[in-house]
Structure 1
Amino acid sequence: MGHARITLRTAAVGVVSAALIAGVAGLAPAAQAAPSVRFVDIPGDGGTVLKANVVTPAGDDGSRSYPLVVLPTSWGLPQVEYLAQAQKLADSGYVVLTYNVRGFWQSGGQIEVAGPPDVADASRVIDWALAHTPADPARIGMAGVSYGAGISLLAAAHDKRVRAVAALSGWADLIGSIYSGRTQHVQAGALLDGVGTVTGRESPEVRRIFDRFYASDLAAEQEMTDWGRERSAATYVDRLNRNGAAVMLAGAWGDSIFPVNQDADFYGRLTVPKRLELRPGDHATPEITGLFGLPNDVWTDTGRWFDHYLRGVDNGIDREQPVQLKPRTGGGYETYPDWKSLASDDRKFALAGSTTIHANVDSGADGGTVFLSSILDQVAQLPPMALIPLLPRRWAAVWQSERYTTPQRVRGTVTLHTTLTPTAESGTFIAYVYDVGPLGVGKLVTHAPYAWHGRAPGEPFGVDLDLFSTAYDVPAGHRLAVVADTVDPLYTEHNPSGAQLTFSSPQDDPSYVSVPVREQ
């Protein structure tokens, strides 16, 4: 575990450093060319100094007010992150204020992971903008990528002045993101921890949570869950609905930090004007080109969202189908009236028989590597792969469907139901679904981990598992394979040495996988 943390922290430093160098090189000239940019210090909650910049429309003479957009920075990035987009928004008639969240770079305070001080900071930033810029108090929006997205949603739930939000590659449910299936997403956690350690100052509470996360401290599980819920917009969805801010959510199918399931669940609970956009890629990769001022669909729609809900522009975004997605396997945008309309049929195939596997050995079926795997899927349609016929059956349970005579357009959330009998009270398994071609090469369609604790050894129990939502087209002539094993570098393993797992399909409760499919 220690070596993995060091390796991921080193990689995180490299990723952040490259992003910052590119950001400074790509954004600084635009900032210098725009006299409307000024760098300021803003007193946040408790007087903590937040480093920020303000971009106002060119030629502003103080005679009118403008809608305000506030952009909190992403995890580990400085306040210049959004300058290219801030300039574009200012050119369209907005006052834009971007600020470095507390605990990172030159801002004061400690990292609170979107805790109450961060939410209060957002309100203090709005206060400052209303007092020191020509911002209109009736037209305030917030947006951000990743960490900035999470803070923006939380701020809208706690501050009624926020009238529109664009949350890009963010989270709605923090525990449902990095602790789904009651399993620590250890690579994602280590990456966040590494970036935070290098670019900021973690609070003692955050350091304790990370340490208990790595240690799989069951005694602290409730504390971690409560800590995460306080930092999740899903906890305050009723407040968001009462406050009425229009909410746009955008994410990536392969987001290895904030899987899109939690966005889809949250979206379904919103009753305000809303929009959900999903594209191929990993965490924040669909938005990244826009940060350098390049054409980018996510940022274009963010501007349209604010134009309509803050400036009153009749651009039609409110009349479009609100769920917009691009499949991972290519093609243009598909549009739907709601999440449940993605699939028109749920096709089940049986996980028949009884299969016993041994724990503690990686079978070769894996979810990939944080960032790298989903980026390869995004740019080259090369997801993690496995040679299904050669997977060792001692360590992997394998079931396969019949070959499909027509393409299968998988849309939404694959679910698995099975009966599991472990030899130990705690354990982990990971379920994978592969698209298997004629030569037996499987391309990963989706997966998810599942862990349990406190079970009686030798006693069977039912498992219902939602795999990570996706949009993937299985070609005609291919089949689907379901694989279960016990080790994946993305996740913490809870199986003691020598443990065995038996998957069975009782006659009165048969095991199956249900695949949501869109008809042609």
Structure 2
Amino acid sequence: MKTKVLGLCAASLLICAAPVATFAQPVAPTPPPHVRESIYVPVRDGTKLAVNIYRPAENGRAATGKRPVIFVFTPYRARYRETDGKVVEAALNDQLALASLIRAGYVVAVADIRGKGASFGHRRGFQDRTEARDGYDLVEWLARRPFSDGKVGMIGCSYLGGTTFHTASTAPPSLKAVFIGASDLDKYDFVRAGGITAQFNTRPDEPPSVDLASLPVDGDEEGTQLRAAVAEHAANTPMAPLWYGMPNRDSVSPLTGNAFWQEAGVYAYMDAIKRAGIATYFWGNLKDEPTGQTLFGATNLGSKFLAGPGSHCVPPQGFDFTGEVVRYFDHYLKGVDNGIDREPRATYWLEGSNGYVRSDQLPGVESRPLPWFLTGGKAGRQLGAAPGVAGTAAFTVDYKLPPAEYFGFWPQPMDKHGLSFTSRPVTAPMTLVGFPVAHLTVTSTSPDADLFVYLDQIDAKGKAEVISFGRLKLSHRKLAEAPYKNFGLPWHSGLTKDLLPLAPGEKAAVSMTLTPVSRIVPAGARLRFTIAGADPRQRNLKDIQITPPPRIGVLHGGRDPSRIELPLAR
């Protein structure tokens, strides 16, 4: 096994870390020399999709020779005009290293998905097989262009990571490598984790004016085709109602007429990616909810993995992200022997060390579970190494929560709205890498209730931050075997036949996986575990809250104590 970082040593991991600079989120660089064309390309059912092609240029002319193509498939408009008149072009920014890829000699193509931007058609769902097949058709169309050498790569983050992942699942013959950020392997287990929707994918749909701000394709200067395309978007499936309307993994959507979670789960199509030999690289950030899903993708596909310290789709600070992307595609599309395939498989930020771990193992694989028990008594509610005396602590679900940020990618501490158990200050640094797991025994005055759990780190001055969290509807607590590799973590089927409403007075055993962590908890810090029954990121909280609010009891101590297992690095 190779596990290292450069510079400062952390004995608990036998690693070394280098001091890092702080980098701001990249702004649009000076555009690389390029020649652009925008055209409509019909896919197999005749729907015309807007495709924007950027070819490297020399002296104002497109560079000669056949070149590999990098393809991006977006719902967020490839080219549009802001209200102040500024033109924004995704390919000329470096958040996904696209400008650097053009400079490195790649052709970059950015297309609007059907039903968005300047493309015609409407979305039947969210990353469905229609969209995946559209991606297939565009990959193969790009591979046949006179400027193409027949090799195509894809890159994206968030929705764009999903379009990349889903296109790969159709195994286009010309698709050789993908770089996927912040995207899910299991749509249900992400969007509706534990049976509960939260922030992601439940925001209101955008008005037509957003897509009408797209720039028309070449030859449509008056915007006639653009207006006709956007008119078709009115038939799009609304996103939040789609997810709200399917409470269980096997629910049939009234909007699409099928069990849509299964259609949108990439894990069902992984074998096609493997058989096609498509190279895969997954990345995310440690303060971003999809990172656990990117880890699942990496472990199932044998991929390289990168995790930075930041939030959603922010290029990892202190790491040459654009350089990594270019080197990756240079190797798999151009055949450059730059050593990236021989370097450690995983690179991930270790909070508290100011550095990145580089390891042949994905984060958490070699950690061991360290149980910290929920205890009560005269000393108050604590987290401790021993179970303590049997008892019960209870709270009434608080629905009067502060408003959430519109994009609340990470929660704030919830100790004022739930039940908390706090440790004593740790006496020595403790390195946690992997997925915390909560095992609770609970009661509820309602047959069903939502459970949210949060693991906070509190520094010596009393400042708290959430470092990991999870959620589960009590009726979804039945465990099952996951249909993919998930590090052996608790997994809930979410199937209708497996739902378990609580009987009056029933004690329910609940196991919950929290989001992954990678940090050194310093000496003097405390850990706090909070249990709540609602979260500000539930956009539909007013519609689903229970009256009267449930009173939830948490049993601690005794023969089957409630506990949280911390992933202690070996």
Bin for the TM-score computed over the shorter chain: 0.7 to 0.9
Aligned-pair distance for 1:270? 1.2
* Higher RCO (Cα < 8 Å, 6 or more apart): 2
Amino acid at match of 1:43: P
1:54-73 equivalent positions in 2, closer than 5 A: 54-58=53-57, 64-73=65-74
Aligned to 1:129: 142
Deviation at 1:332, TM superposition (A): 1.7
Higher alpha-carbon deviation: 303-312 or 38-47: 38-47
How far does the alpha carbon of each residue in 1:162-201 deviate from its partner, in whole angstroms, 9 at most, with x for none?
A: 110011232322222221121111x333336348994477
Amino acid at match of 2:240: F
Match of 1:346 in 2: 369
Give the superposition deviation at 1:68. Answer: 2.1
Partner of 1:314: 337
Is 2:257 the counterpart of 1:263?
A: no
Contact kept, 8 Å, 1:42 with 1:51, in 2: the verdict is: yes
| 438-447 or 468-477, larger mean C-alpha shift | 438-447
Moved more, 111-120 or 98-107: 111-120
| Cα displacement (A) at 1:340 | 5.2
Normalising by structure 2, we get a TM-score of 0.73
Match of 2:128 among 104, 108, 115: 115
Q: Which moved more, 1:221-230 or 1:41-50?
A: 221-230
User: So what's the TM-score if we normalise by structure 1?
Assistant: 0.80
Moved over 6 A (4+): 60-63
The one of 78, 81, 92 equivalent to 1:83 is 92
Which residue number corresponds to residue 474 of structure 1?
521
CA distance in 2, matches of 1:373, 1:153: 21
Q: Which amino acid aligns with 1:49?
A: K
CA contact (8 A) 1:420 1:502 kept: yes
**Deviation digits for residues 52-73 of structure 1, max 9, x if unmatched?**
1212243588974322221112
Is residue 2:250 matched to residue 1:242?
no
Instruction: Indicate conservation of the 8 Å contact 1:359/1:495, yes or no.
Output: no
- Counterpart of 2:104? 92
User: Corresponding residue for 2:324?
Assistant: 301
How many residue pairs get matched? 464
Separation in structure 2 between the aligned mates of residue 485 and residue 62 of structure 1, nearest angstrom? 59
CA distance in 2, matches of 1:466, 1:473: 20
Residue 109 of structure 1: how far off its partner (Å): 0.9
What's the CA shift string for 1:97-141, capped at 9, x where partnerless? 21111111211111342212211211221232233332122x221
Work out whether residues 428 and 495 of structure 1, in 8 Å CA contact, stay in contact via their aligned partners in 2.
no
Aligned residue identity for 2:295: A
Unaligned regions of 5+ residues in structure 1, if any?
Answer: 1-21, 290-294, 375-382
Cα offset, 1:466, TM superposition = 0.5
Say yes or no: does 1:223 pair with 2:252. Answer: yes
Give 1:494 shift: 4.9
Which residue of 1 is the match for residue 453 of structure 2?
Answer: 431
- Is 2:77–2:118's contact at 8 Å kept on the other side of the alignment? no
Name the structure 2 match of 1:211: 241
Secondary structure of the corresponding residue to residue 355 of structure 2: coil
Do the aligned partners of residues 494 and 161 (structure 1) sit closer, same or farther apart at CA in structure 2, a change above 3 Å counting? farther
- Relative distance call for 1:355 and 1:87 in structure 2 (3 A) is closer
3-state SS of 1:307 partner:
helix
State the shift of 1:264 in Å.
1.2
Sequence identity, in percent?
Answer: 22
Match of 2:197, SS? Answer: coil
Q: Give, in whole Å, the separation in 1 of the partners of 2:118 and 2:392.
A: 58
Q: Where is the helix percentage greater, Structure 1 or Structure 2?
A: 1
RMSD value, Cα: 3.2
Distance 1:299 1:45 in 2: 34
- What is the distance in 2 between the residues matched to 1:196 and 1:430? 36
* Alignment of 1:276 onto 2:296: no
What is the CA–CA distance in structure 2 between the aligned matches of 1:57 and 1:402, rounded to whole Å?
59
Which has the larger Rg? Answer: 2
Task: Indicate the SS of the match to 1:191.
Answer: coil
Is the Cα contact below 8 Å between 1:358 and 1:500 reproduced in 2?
yes
User: Partner residue of 2:482?
Assistant: none
Q: Which runs of 5+ in 2 are unaligned?
A: 1-24, 81-88, 212-229, 376-390, 476-500
Q: For 1:348 and 1:362, how far apart are their aligned partners in 2?
A: 32
Match of 1:3 in 2: none
Distance 1:211-1:452 versus aligned 2 partners, 3 A rule: same
